[in-house]
Amino acid sequence: MKKILLASTSTLFGQAYLAYLLPELEIFFKGKKTITFIPYARPGGISHDAYTQIVAKAFAAIDKKVVGVHSFRNPITALQSAEAIFTGGGNTFLLVQQLYEKQIMAVLKEKIEHGTPYLGTSAGSNIAGVTMKNTNDMPIVYPPSFETLGLVNFNINAHYLDPDPKSLHNGETRETRIKEFHCFNTVPVVGLREGSYVAVEGEKIELKGPFKARIFLPNKKPFEGKNLHFS
């Protein structure tokens, strides 16, 4: 049975890394001693080791050990033996390119679908969708495919921002970009606001956190909602 948490962000403004999620994560990872961390998105270009240290410090608060998948000689066997998995944020193009290059996209999908608890934040949440096409990131590398894990039957637009009526910016809004996506794609898109996260347990999908999601369906007006079950 799938057990998944997909958060828009790892860090709320003014808080420590993962601080707002720790009470939920203590329950989510109950009984698991070690979390295998996938650092490939590397926010700001920091090293894999430095990123893993940030994560380890956060999880130490709930008495969990963190090991970076990059520290293993064989990432395939590392994931196959993982008792829990976390993929952090950063650049989704880089993350997806690395997962394919290291031949662990399919391994990761199989592990999660067979019940290994999975936490994703930002880019790590983006890859849980059908494709990565609703990422906000720049294409700094070229992945062989935009197809991702397909753990849910929709895409996530993390860090979703509502249009600011006071802004003098005349460019496209996030809503405009997603409408453009639906000119060529039919996958539902969930605009996930900061502080909100998706919890999956088996076939049950629940939106948690302080905000509703902005839901985008092809040929329909966007709307606010918490029901993330799409046919």
- Does any domain span residue 141? yes
129 is written with which tokens?
């969708």
- The model's pLDDT over 162-211, given as tens digits with 9 standing for 90+, comes to 988 888 777 789 999 999 999 999 999 999 999 999 999 999 999 999 99
If one counts the domains in the chain, the total is 1
Half-sphere exposure of 57 (CA within 13 A, CB side): 9
Residues counted in the chain? 231
Residues marked active site are found at 122, 137, 159
- The model's pLDDT over 4-46, given as tens digits with 9 standing for 90+, comes to 999 999 999 999 999 999 999 999 999 999 999 999 999 999 9
171: left (phi over 0), alpha (psi -120 to 50) or beta: beta
Query: What is the C-alpha to C-alpha distance for residues 107 and 123, in angstroms, rounded to an integer?
Result: 18
Q: In this structure, what CATH number is given to the domain that contains residue 107?
A: 3.40.50.880
CA angle at residue 182 from 178 to 187, to 5 degrees? 95
- Does any domain span residue 206? yes
- Does any domain span residue 231? no
pLDDT of residue 171: 76
- The model's pLDDT over 94-145, given as tens digits with 9 standing for 90+, comes to 999 999 999 999 999 999 999 999 999 999 999 999 999 999 999 999 999 9
pLDDT of residue 163: 84
Instruction: Please indicate, yes or no, whether the overall pTM of this predicted structure exceeds 0.85.
Output: yes
φ and ψ of 129, to 5 deg: -80, -175
> Which residue range(s) make up the domain with 127?
3-225
- The model's pLDDT over 55-74, given as tens digits with 9 standing for 90+, comes to 999 999 999 999 999 999 99
